[in-house]
Structure 1
Amino acid sequence: RKRVLDAINHRQPDRQPVDFGGSAVTGMHVSCVAALRDHYGLEKRLVKVCEPYQMLGLIEDDLKETIGIDVTALMSRTNMFGFENRDWKPWTFNGLEVLVPEDFRVTVEPEKGGILIYPKGDRSACPSGHMPKDGYFFDSIIRQKPIDPDNLDPEDNTEQYTLLTDLQLDAIEADARAVNTGEYAVFASLINTALGDIAFVPGPDLTDPKGVRDVAEWYMLTASRPDVVHKIFERQVEVGIANLEKIHAHVGDAIDVLFLCGTDFGTQTSSFCSVKTFDALWKPHYAALCGWIHKNTTWKIFKHSCGSSERFFESMIEAGIDIINPVQCSAKGMDPKMLKAKYKGRLVFWGGGVDTQQTLPFGAPEEVRKEVLERCEIFSDGGGFVFNSIHNVQAGTPIANMVAMFDAVKEFNGRGN
């Protein structure tokens, strides 16, 4: 825990801290977790799918210790499809048997053979996720009803943003006590403040979503009706701060890092909007959330944004964001040396350790080793870096490359850095 706290406070830690499994954007596909457990000869057990949307696997303490993880997750008990991770049962896909929650209820498409999953496990509702035959994760199914662009009700797009109940708060407090041992840094993903996140716009957790639920329609809405978007964001922030107040009253400083939002602003070569639009539409709402957090807690604020996102970093820093992820160095304008030189001491890089689009899945182990060592050398100087791959480790990644990644971090630490 101290190692992570040093890094995120821009102090040189005793060695390079590592996160895998701390959040839904810093994890591993369940098949990768299973492969690592087998490789290291750990106790034979089925791996739990802790995030069914992306089919991420739970990294338990024995594997954490083996591969050198410094972070533990404090996640909502409810996943992105709106049902709780409890009452586990076996399920097999692509020849791998895993454990899924009781309300993980699916059907198979009669002709194509794809898998359909249902919000809140309710098969009477329209399915909200689809995994192609022989696929490895789910995509959202768009379920938008006809809308009148001139008569939109912002309330229709805020139905999943609700105040936490006493029962939910008691569960958060119990979970925080369980993970807050002092051994690991606590990474919390507890509230939905996803301001325009394309993973949440379709409402995969809702049985009967209202409002604008098509991703393309949403992006057009940000340009055509910013007044409506502002009202949606204002409601999200209002509920978000109210819930943060309740959570803080229950857990206090047990949280070290808070996942704020997963909205992507970068593409491979450009961005989804201009900095001017970001500053006008998103920045005030991020600033309101971050302002409350920094005024009332010791938590550091984690923001996820894929792709060519550097153009937004100054605005994010001004809004109060402390940590950026996944640091997609392969995207345009995301050179690691430039990023470290420009933002050293001002922004923590959580990720960027190895490319998950090319190097990790398709390179040789020595190429993985070389890239990991280079990234650690660049980003670790003066702290401000938590090692993670660039987004989740995907299914099909060779076990030799995953092992090479972890071995390279250990090699770097062994150099006395």
Structure 2
Amino acid sequence: MTPRERVIASLGHRETDVLPLDLGSTLVTGIHVSSLHKLKVALGLIREDEPVKVIDPFQMLGEVDDELRKVLGIDTVPLFPPKNFFGFENADWKPWTFFDGTPLLVPGKFNTTPDANGDIYQYPLGDTRFPPSAKMPRDGFYHDALIRQKPFRDEELKVEDQIEEYTLLTDEELSYYEQESKRLYEETDYAVVSSGVPGTNLGDIAYVPGPALPDPKGIRDVEEWYISLMTRKEFLKEVFSRMTEIGLENLKRFHQAVGERIQVIVISGTDFGSQHGPFISPSLYRELFKPFHKKINDWVHQNTSWKTFIHTCGSIYALLPDLEEAGFDILNPVQISAAEMDPEKLKEEFGKDFTFWGGGVNTQTTLPFGKPEEVKEEVRRLIETFKKGGGFVFATVHNIQAKIPVENLLALFEAVNEYR
């Protein structure tokens, strides 16, 4: 099987020659630049002084290139948007040394100048004339969103303010997607995974503060947003309704540009779970999110061959029946360390409903703090559990984080290729 055939078969719940492997096809199945650099050095792909590229400045994720794909046996390739989390292009690369000494290449508009305390700030659109929208503390590993919410009264809230960043795809963006999807589909045999289009990602808390907006208006504070799920339901229904209209139009335009050259599209990255249970009740999900999710997924399934991908962290067992009814095909990150997220129970009860994309190793404890043999054993056990009958693409639980021992990184991929 080719990598693309392998992923397609697994998405169809058919067993494959070897288990499909993903690393880096999405911004929730990636690897932190520090860990990526250590891994590539250990594999002999680069020297200690050679840099790796930052493709997601917010989470500081690194570029998984073709050379690494071939060495590890990765089956996927990303179709990323033309602009990153902060609204500027990953272009005009420049060198920068990370706090921990990792040599990097960052986009030209990535701010590398620290303030007096040594902190690094990023700016909307990469434009320092605007107030910063994120901060990476000195010696940190990631950016934290900065809350820039202005005081407001409920009667002043406007739907158009709340969805300012969700715009229709432009001719320039569609041309980019057409050309890039052709390149990935025709020049590689990997499964092509799209990060999605503006308007479908209802309530994704990473985007609520408006990191790419020079002057965000509306509800932009994280705590206030979660409170609003209960106190401003009717307003949020209007917001989600309008977002869905934009999302559906963008899906139509996107489909015209890429056709069937992609296999997977990320529809939602909204986290509905905490470590111990869902953030929201099933009844609130049914009221606020499910009708819109179903409308979006239905359009995809009625008009394309794509499979729809939802990323939602935490303990979401109680929400799984509703997510299935809403039409999601793929569940990520399969946070096996959270309450009620037992791998065997998930596979037995929902293995025919979802493709589990993730759940391959516990990134909270085992990968960062376990011994290499413990990493290998956990990978073996989880592959054995999830692989049966297809419907499983191996990925770690969320991104591979910083400060992972290189011995554990090597053990992870050695085990994947031994047991896949």
Deviation at 1:149, TM superposition (A): 2.2
CA contact (8 A) 1:194 1:200 kept: no
Residue 393 in structure 1 maps to residue 400 in structure 2: yes
**Structure 1 length as normaliser, TM-score?**
0.97
1:182-197 to 2 correspondences below 5 Å = 182-192=188-198, 193-197=200-204
Distance, in Å, in 1 between the alignment partners of 2:222 and 2:41 is: 39
Residue 365 in structure 1 maps to residue 375 in structure 2: no
Distance, in Å, in 2 between the alignment partners of 1:358 and 1:31 is: 18
Deviations 1:159-186 (A, max 9, x none): 0010111111001111111211351100
CA contact (8 A) 2:359 2:397 kept: yes
Deviation at 1:155, TM superposition (A): 1.3
Look up the equivalent residue of 1:7 and give its one-letter code.
Answer: S
Alignment correspondent of 1:98: 104
CA contact (8 A) 2:264 2:309 kept: yes
Look up the equivalent residue of 1:289 and give its one-letter code.
Answer: I
Alignment correspondent of 1:344: 351
CA contact (8 A) 1:107 1:117 kept: no
Look up the equivalent residue of 1:405 and give its one-letter code.
Answer: L
Deviation at 1:107, TM superposition (A): 3.8
CA contact (8 A) 1:336 1:378 kept: yes
Deviation at 1:346, TM superposition (A): 1.0
Distance, in Å, in 2 between the alignment partners of 1:106 and 1:309 is: 38
Distance, in Å, in 1 between the alignment partners of 2:205 and 2:115 is: 25
1:258-297 to 2 correspondences below 5 Å = 258-297=265-304
Look up the equivalent residue of 1:91 and give its one-letter code.
Answer: W
1:17-416 to 2 correspondences below 5 Å = 17-44=20-47, 45-94=50-99, 95-110=101-116, 112-180=117-185, 181-192=187-198, 193-413=200-420
Distance, in Å, in 2 between the alignment partners of 1:32 and 1:129 is: 22
CA RMSD of aligned residues (A): 1.0
Deviations 1:195-251 (A, max 9, x none): 111100001111110100001101111101111101111111111111111111111
Look up the equivalent residue of 1:183 and give its one-letter code.
Answer: D
Deviation at 1:105, TM superposition (A): 2.2
Distance, in Å, in 2 between the alignment partners of 1:183 and 1:394 is: 28
Distance, in Å, in 2 between the alignment partners of 1:102 and 1:206 is: 19
**Structure 2 length as normaliser, TM-score?**
0.96
SS in 2 for 1:108: coil
- 5+ residue gaps in structure 1? none
SS in 1 for 2:413: helix
Deviations 1:328-350 (A, max 9, x none): 01100000000000012111100
Range 210-219 or range 178-187, more displaced: 178-187
CA contact (8 A) 2:75 2:191 kept: yes
Deviation at 1:378, TM superposition (A): 0.2
Distance, in Å, in 1 between the alignment partners of 2:338 and 2:115 is: 36
Distance, in Å, in 2 between the alignment partners of 1:283 and 1:379 is: 27
Percent sequence identity over aligned pairs: 47
SS in 2 for 1:254: coil
For these two proteins, the number of residue pairs brought into alignment is 412
